[in-house]
Chains A and B, each alone.
Chain A
Amino acid sequence: MDARRESEATPMKNPTTMERKSERELVLTRTFNGPARIVFDAWTKPELLKRWWIPKSTGMSLLSCEADVRVGGRYRFEIGQDASKSMAFFGKYIEVIPNSRLVWTNEESDQGALTTVTFEEKGGKTLLVLHELYPSKEALDTVMAGMEGGMEGGMEGGMPESFAELDKLLDTLGASVGRS
């Protein structure tokens, strides 16, 4: 039918869902139209990670991106407009199962989450589930309280207009990069 033709002409983005699963957990899901080995590559090869981790619409960029993706290997991302206004996020990988599972720590603070990402392939598509486990209910509540108002003027309006807004945006991206 017409509706179908239309959706083929302008393919819909796959939906991203997020849910607070419990007092300490956030769960995110998204399907990608490609096999797990490709999606896994995009998460584990720094040169690929660099291309999508910071959406262009934020006006920010990944100033540096090091990721030694193996058990015990460390990662470090620096995000900002330039070196004088940047923020670093770091931790280590504690589980690496090719094309299937990644677990890493977020060590910017002692309240950082443990992040687990699983890649599940079905019929050439990959269901990605990202799970964040915070050390306590208070840790997650604090992250949420700190990000209040963080996105305004950042994602929507393009370039942040002031340092305060930049800080808020970095916080937002930080929570997702660092604590994700």
Chain B
Amino acid sequence: MVQYSQARFDVSFAALSDATRRGVLERLGRGDASITELAEKFHMTLTGMKKHVGVLERAELVTTEKVGRVRTCKLGLRRLEEEAAWIERYREVWAARFDELDEVVEELKQKEKVDGRKKRE
């Protein structure tokens, strides 16, 4: 059971609420593209497309990398999935640890009861 904070979901949903940005994700699903290519495909200015890509980047749906003068965009979804998987594994380590701690707590509780009884006797 992985829990994402509400804030992270909000950012993701806000990013997906725009038709152009959904189009960009769909386009990147078929292969990486530069900002210029995306701007041309969606009949936008470079500045406009940069803004959209910025929103997707902040939501970690897209990652970008600048090589020379070209900024290439690619899907960032995989990273989110990896993060979720990592958090789940880390959570499992702690859950296993805490299940053992339950036994220690239970034993100490019993011991307190016995000691309490002894004191009263």
Interface residues in chain A, defined as those with a beta carbon under 8 Å from any beta carbon in chain B = 13-22, 26, 28, 30, 32-35, 38-39, 41-42, 48, 51-58, 130, 144, 147-148, 150-151, 155, 172-173, 175-176, 180
Contact = CB atoms under 8 A, between A and B. Distances in A.
B117 to A, nearest CB: 17
Contacts of B3: 17-19
A15 B92 contact: no
Contacts of B106: 33-34
B76 to A, nearest CB: 12
A41 B108 contact: yes
Contact of B90 (A41, A42, A51, A175): A175
Classify chain B: how many residues form its interface, as a range. 20 to 34
A16 B83 contact: no
B95 interface: yes
B63 to A, nearest CB: 12
Contact of A30 (B1, B89, B94, B103): B94
Contacts of A39: 101, 105
